[in-house]
Amino acid sequence: MSEAPAQRPAFAAGAILALVVVGVVAAAAMAVLSAYAPDLRSGQDGRAHALSKSAVGYAGAPILMRALGAPVVVSRTRPTRPSQSAVVLTPDQGLSADELKAFPKGPLTLIVLPKWWTARDPLRGAFVRKAGVMKDDRAVQALLASYAPQTRLALRKGKSRPSVYGVGGTPLAGFSGRLGEIDTFRTVSGDGWTPLLVDDQGRAVLVRSTKTPSVWVLADADLLNNQGLASLDTARAGAAILQAAAADGRPLLFDVTLNGLERGRGLGRLMLEPPLLAATLIGVAAGLLMGLHALARFGQPRRKGRAFALGARALVDNTAGLVRMARREAEMAPAYADLTRALVARAAGGHAAQEHWLDDLARRRGAASPGELAAEAAQAKTRDELMAVARKLYDWRGEMTRERR
C-alpha cells in the first residue's frame, strides 16, 4: 500500500513573512505620515490664505514685501502669546467671532475680510473659478462684533478703477493713487470704525477700530490678493497698506493657522522627535526582538487533544479533582498512612499485619512507630494538616527502607 501524500500548507513560510514585513512597514509609514500630515500640506488648495497661489490667495503679498525689503514670515504655528510682529489675518467665511477674538494679536493686526465665493477648478487643482461676492453684512457684523458695535458693507457694481486716498493724521496720510481694475469694489462703514483709506466717493476701504486701535480691517481683499497684485497700480496700494502696518521696523507675520494649516504638536509627532525619539526607537527594537523570539520559540501548531482524556492518569486526575471540589482532602490521610505502612512492610520483607514487627524495626531505625503516624493521620482535619502528615509519612518511609541511601 502506498502512503498518502503529505498535505502541503496553504501558504508558504516566505510569503507569510513577506506579508508581515510589508504590513509592519506600511503601518509605520502610515503612523509617521499621520503625525506629519499638517506639515505635508502645501497650501495649494485654492482658498484665500498666504500659501495659496490661486486668484483669491495671498501668496503674492509676502513675495512683494520681501522684494521691498520688509521682514516677512508665513506662520503655520499658532502663537501662545501676543506677537511682536504686525499680524495679517485672512479668515475664511464661517470663522466664528470667538476664534478670531481668541487669536493672540500683535502690536498691529490687519484683518482682511473674505470677499469671493469660489469653486475649485476641476482641471487645475490650485486654481478656482469665481462664483460670486460675499454680501452678507450679518456674518461680518458677527465676526467683528468684538471691535465695533456696527459693521456694514457697500458694493460698487461692475468693474471699476477707483482712486484711494490716505486720511490725514493716520499712518496712510499723504498716500493717493488709482487702483487697477477691480470687480465689485467693496467698502465698509459703521459705528466704531475710523477710516484710514477712503475711495473717491469718500467711503472707507481700510478702517481702524475705535475701541481697539491696533486692529485694522481691509474691506476689499482684491487690494492684497493675487489677482489684485497682478496690477501694478493695485500692488502700490497694497504695499502701502502693509508698509504702514509694518511701521517702526515691525516684521510682517501672515498667519495661516486660522485657515486650518497649523503645524500640529500631537503625541505622534512628539514621539518621533528628540528627546523622545530614542524611547520610540527602543520600543520598536524591543517589539522586533519579541517578534523574533516568538518565531524562534513556537513551531508547528499542536494538534488539538480530546476534550475528555482516557487512561488511568485521567481517572486519577478526575478523582483528585472531585475530592478537591468536595474539600475532602483531609479524609485521605488515614488511607495514605495505611498505604505507606504496606509499602514499607513489603520493601522490608514482612507483612503489614505484623504490627509488632514494624514497631521493632522502627525502634531499631530510630523512627516513629506506625501507630503514632496512623493516629496523627486520623486527626488531620485540614489540607495543611494533611500535607504535614504526608511529609512525615514520606520521610518515615525513607528511613525505614533506606531508599535515600
pLDDT digits (tens, 9 = 90+) for 41-54: 666 778 888 988 88
Q: What is the pLDDT of residue 156?
A: 92
Q: What is the mean pLDDT of residues 364-384?
A: 83
Place of cell 510569503: 15
Q: Determine the Cα–Cα distance for residues 184 and 84; give it in Å rounded to an integer.
A: 35
C-alpha cell, 345: 512492610
Q: In 275-382, which residue ranges form alpha helices assigned H by DSSP? A: 277-297, 312-326, 333-348, 355-365, 370-378
Tell me the CATH architecture of domain 42-259: 3-Layer(aba) Sandwich (3.40)
Domain boundaries, the chain: 14-38+267-297, 42-259, 312-401
For residues 208 and 193, the answer to whether their CB atoms sit within 8 Å is: yes
CA-angle at 336, arms to 331 and 337, nearest 5°: 105
Q: What is the pLDDT of residue 112?
A: 95
| pLDDT reading at 3 higher than 60 | no
Q: Determine the Cα–Cα distance for residues 50 and 230; give it in Å rounded to an integer.
A: 15
Confidence of residue 405 (pLDDT cuts 50, 70, 90): very low
For residues 259 and 92, the answer to whether their CB atoms sit within 8 Å is: yes
| pLDDT reading at 297 higher than 50 | yes
Burial class (CB in 10 A: 0-12, 13-18, 19+), 80: exposed
Confidence of residue 59 (pLDDT cuts 50, 70, 90): very high
> Who wins on pLDDT, 380 or 357?
380
For residues 393 and 373, the answer to whether their CB atoms sit within 8 Å is: yes
The count of other CB atoms within 10 Å of the CB of residue 256 is 24
Q: What is the pLDDT of residue 191?
A: 93
In tens, the pLDDT along 227-238 reads 999 999 999 999
Q: Determine the Cα–Cα distance for residues 246 and 240; give it in Å rounded to an integer.
A: 10
Q: What is the pLDDT of residue 332?
A: 83
Q: Determine the Cα–Cα distance for residues 246 and 164; give it in Å rounded to an integer.
A: 20
For residues 171 and 196, the answer to whether their CB atoms sit within 8 Å is: yes
Q: What is the pLDDT of residue 125?
A: 67
In tens, the pLDDT along 89-129 reads 999 888 889 999 999 888 999 999 999 988 887 777 677 88
Average pLDDT across the chain, whole number: 85
In tens, the pLDDT along 148-193 reads 999 999 999 999 999 999 999 999 999 999 999 999 999 999 999 9
Phi first, then psi: give them for residue 267, nearest 5 degrees. Answer: -65, -40
> Who wins on pLDDT, 9 or 64?
64
| pLDDT reading at 2 higher than 60 | no
CA-angle at 367, arms to 361 and 368, nearest 5°: 100
Residues above pLDDT 70, as percent of the chain: 89
Q: What is the pLDDT of residue 4?
A: 53
In tens, the pLDDT along 230-278 reads 999 999 999 999 999 998 888 999 999 898 887 766 677 777 778 888 8
**Whether the model pTM is above 0.75:** no
In tens, the pLDDT along 200-215 reads 999 999 999 999 999 9
Please choose, from the candidates 133, 131, 87, 99, the residue with its C-alpha nearest in 3D space to the C-alpha of residue 114. Answer: 133
Q: Determine the Cα–Cα distance for residues 276 and 122; give it in Å rounded to an integer.
A: 43
C-alpha cell, 319: 478523582
Q: Determine the Cα–Cα distance for residues 361 and 379; give it in Å rounded to an integer.
A: 24
Bridge partners, 163 (sequence order): 178
Q: What is the pLDDT of residue 213?
A: 93
Q: What is the mean pLDDT of residues 16-27?
A: 84
Q: In 71-144, which residue ranges form alpha helices assigned H by DSSP? A: 97-102, 137-143
Confidence of residue 38 (pLDDT cuts 50, 70, 90): low
